[in-house]
């Protein structure tokens, strides 16, 4: 179903080399956070995953319905807010993660179609993953010795 994502540290501060099949992406932190801003931060990459999945899911649905959708634009922002500011928070301790997602459509769509596309946005696979219980299994590979040079 998916290819491995491999992340390697580099000798350049916090810069990480992300490889997905033939694709290479650099990830980093902004200068203000101790990085060199050589690429998106980890949270920006998370937002990119949600945004691209949202847009693709909407596009596929609209094409299947033969709706006149020309373009989808998804703008996202991550923040941490105090628990009392989050209406639907029951299990956070003091702070809760929040993603603000704004979606705009270009094309001659009715209000009913726009509302339906908004519902479809919440059904994209990455959205479902982020709003479900996630299990992350971590293990160590290799014997810890440095490779021969």
Give mean pLDDT in consecutive 10-residue pieces for the chain, a chain of 149 residues: 88 94 96 95 97 98 98 96 61 80 97 98 96 94 67
Question: Is the dihedral angle over the CA atoms 34, 35, 36, 40 positive or is it negative?
Answer: negative
The pTM of the full predicted model, rounded to 2 decimals, is 0.85
CA atoms within 13 A of residue 112's CA, in its CB half-sphere: 1
pLDDT, position 87: 56
Fold for domain 41-130?
GMP Synthetase; Chain A, domain 3 (3.30.300)
pLDDT, position 144: 66
Query: Hey, where are the domains in the chain?
Result: 1-40, 41-130
Measure CA of the first residue to CA of the last residue in the chain; give whole Å: 35
């Amino acid at each position: 179903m998916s290819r491995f994502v491999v992340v390697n540290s580099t000798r350049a501060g916090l810069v990480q080399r992300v490889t997905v099949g033939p694709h290479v992406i650099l990830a980093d932190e902004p200068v203000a956070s101790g990085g060199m801003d050589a690429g998106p931060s980890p949270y920006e990459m998370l937002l990119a995953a949600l945004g691209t999945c949202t847009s693709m899911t909407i596009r596929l649905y609209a094409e299947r319905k033969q709706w006149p959708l020309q373009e989808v634009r998804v703008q996202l922002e991550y923040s941490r807010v105090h628990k009392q500011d989050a209406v639907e928070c029951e299990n956070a301790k003091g702070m809760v993660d929040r993603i603000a997602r704004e979606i705009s459509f270009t094309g001659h769509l009715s209000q009913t179609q726009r509302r339906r596309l908004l519902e479809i946005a919440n059904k994209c696979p990455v959205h479902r993953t982020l709003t479900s219980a996630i299990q992350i299994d971590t293990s160590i590979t290799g014997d810890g010795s440095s490779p021969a040079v």
